[in-house]
């Protein structure tokens, strides 16, 4: 199986020994604590899960700026986005070396992790501007990732962490949330060596389903990992439980048994386009995948990125050998009226726009809200039924 990023073996930061974990939780009761941001909590979950291997905790100012500027930490590790714990003030923790990090997303703010604080530094306005420009390619405050990144403060707490639970992800999505090391174990049990990963924050329509098949066939893969984001999204995006139900229905009905793993990870969407695509590649390598499908508008939002910028970055900015995972570059996929099947548009140069069944996201939402299923060439009827029920429930 493919090696993790940066190390020979995966080193998740979740304290797996129950006795040790109990001791850390008892220690946390006596430590000064802070309620961290949702983004920092998601970073902790990803560190605990092994997805952010080989990081041992939150980055300091120098590493954050190095990663933003040239995708390298000060010690040379390739990494695409800063992984930070940023706060607005340090009241009650100044001079303290160990602090408890409390979860902002659960009632009562239970302890999520313990951090050994190696440094407390402050990003300057210029630092924030540089990181925002480099990671998001825009400083527009209307960009949801930019708004979130710049809203949590400028004081950065760096240092290693011990992760003590997986926030709400494990309880709310027990059938779907999986750590990187759990995914590796499942793949090993299935005997999979060559695995194609598909990233999604949306339900999967027929074109997505067929794209997975195309990639799997093209690389002669052993299996497909459908890996959905379970964390915080922008307003208007479909909730994780609805997406989960849609994807599971599709896989159950239309894929052979033991060819697809339906899983999810605990992270808040950045909407950072190309840089987030590279992050997706890093943590899919950590999960044991050999290939990642990168398609049109991967991890993007609005018109901030070109349709294939998330592919270009791997060719032009990711140094050779920085990652072992390979990228499967996908074009826009749609149903061909001429051929009676889903195709990649680049593969049918003789087609015109009218030869495809194309529906905008707005058009699809309108149809579903009216209780009208999109055509079967666009969406599986069983998936459309789940989405119709969701959209109609939001109107009640």
Q: Is 15 helix (H, G, I), strand (E, B) or coil?
A: coil
Taking alpha carbons only, the member of 105, 141, 382, 363 closest to residue 246 is: 382
Instruction: Provide the strand spans (E) within the chain.
Output: 33-35, 57-58, 86-87, 98-102, 111-116, 119-122, 155-163, 195-200, 223-229, 260-265, 291-294, 326-329, 333-336, 341-344, 356-357
Of the chain, the end-to-end C-alpha distance in Å amounts to 49
126 is catalytic: no
- Two tokens at 128? 């924030």
Phi, psi at 288, each rounded to 5°:
100, 5
142 is catalytic: no
DSSP 249-288: HHHHHHS-TTSEEEEEE-------THHHHHHHHHHHHHTT
- Two tokens at 329? 């570059």
Q: Which of 202, 213, 232, 365 is catalytic?
A: 202
Q: Which of 21, 72, 98, 201 is catalytic?
A: 201
Separation of CA 220 from chain center? 25
Burial 344-356 (b: 16+ CB within 10 A, else e): bbeebeebeeebb
Active centre residues (catalytic) = 201-202
């Amino acid at each position: 199986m493919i090696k993790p990023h940066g190390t020979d073996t995966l080193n998740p930061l979740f304290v797996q020994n129950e006795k040790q974990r109990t001791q850390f939780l008892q220690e946390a009761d006596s430590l000064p604590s802070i309620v961290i941001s949702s983004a920092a909590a998601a970073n902790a979950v990803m560190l605990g899960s092994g997805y952010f291997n080989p990081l041992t905790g939150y980055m300091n100012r120098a590493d954050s700026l190095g990663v933003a500027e040239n995708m390298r930490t000060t010690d040379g590790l390739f990494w695409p986005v800063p992984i930070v714990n940023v706060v607005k003030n340090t009241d009650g923790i100044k001079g303290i070396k160990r602090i408890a990090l409390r979860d902002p997303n659960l009632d009562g703010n239970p302890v999520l992790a313990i951090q050994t604080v190696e440094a407390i530094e402050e990003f300057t306005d210029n630092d924030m501007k540089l990181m925002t420009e480099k990671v998001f390619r825009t400083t527009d405050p209307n960009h949801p990732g930019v708004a979130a990144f710049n809203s949590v403060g400028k004081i950065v707490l760096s240092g290693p962490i011990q992760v003590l639970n997986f926030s709400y992800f494990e309880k709310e999505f027990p059938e779907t949330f999986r750590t990187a090391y759990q995914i590796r174990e499942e793949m090993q049990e299935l005997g999979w060596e060559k695995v194609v990963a598909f990233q999604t924050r949306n339900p999967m329509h027929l074109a997505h389903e067929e794209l997975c098949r195309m990639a799997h066939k093209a690389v002669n893969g052993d299996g497909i990992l459908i890996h959905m984001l379970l964390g915080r999204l922008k307003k208007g995006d479909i909730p994780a439980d609805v997406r989960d139900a849609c994807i599971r229905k599709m896989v159950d009905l239309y894929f052979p048994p033991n060819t697809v793993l339906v899983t999810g990870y605990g992270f808040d969407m950045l909407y950072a386009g190309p840089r987030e695509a590279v992050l997706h590649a890093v943590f899919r390598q950590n999960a044991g995948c050999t290939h990642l499908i990168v398609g049109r508008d991967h991890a993007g939002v609005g018109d901030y990125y070109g349709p294939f910028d998330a592919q270009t970055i791997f060719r032009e900015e990711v140094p050779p050998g920085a990652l072992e995972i390979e990228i499967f570059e996908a074009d826009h996929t749609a149903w061909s009226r001429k051929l009676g099947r889903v195709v990649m548009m680049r593969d049918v140069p003789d087609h015109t726009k009218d030869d495809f069944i194309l529906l905008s996201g707005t058009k699809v939402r309108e149809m579903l809200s009216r209780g009208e299923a999109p055509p079967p060439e666009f969406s599986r009827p069983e998936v459309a039924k789940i989405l119709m029920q969701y959209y109609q429930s939001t109107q009640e």
